[in-house]
Amino acid sequence: MAVRAVRGAVQLERDEAGHMNEQVGELLAAILERNGLTPDHLISVWFTATPDLHSDFPAAAARKLGIVDVPLICAQELDIAGAMPRVVRILAHVESDLPKSSVSHIYLGAAAALRKDIAQ
């Protein structure tokens, strides 16, 4: 089995912990589902959030989904003028037999505008 990296992002409507957990959970679930993965395939997951998000750690959503034995880390995105606000990004390292060209990178809602070249 190969190691693959899967990207994803979602733009939150507001900075509230419950909303963040719901949206990030939906994103992580979509990444797993569309790539035929289970939490057992996860090696590690990086979460980043834009500097305007303060209500919770994005990784808390993974823990609420029962992903408890996978290393998770959160970091802050660069504060770039004109960047899309309230965005959480995911970079998941997974074990998968999918070829790189078949990996589905998931950009939900308005975040699809971030990577039109790879958004599914």
27-45, pLDDT tens digit by residue?
999 999 999 999 999 999 9
Q: Which residues contact 106 (CB under 8 A, 6 or more apart)?
A: 6, 7, 8, 27, 30, 31, 34, 119, 120
pTM of the predicted protein model = 0.94
Q: Which domains does the chain have, with CATH numbers?
A: 2-115 (3.30.1330.40)
How many whole angstroms separate alpha carbon 80 and alpha carbon 101? 30
Tell me, what amino acid is at 120? Q
52: pLDDT strictly greater than 70: yes
| CB-based contact 53:114 (threshold 8 Å) | no
Look at residue 115 in the predicted model and tell me its pLDDT: 76
Percent of the chain with pLDDT over 70: 97
Averaged pLDDT, 11-33? 97
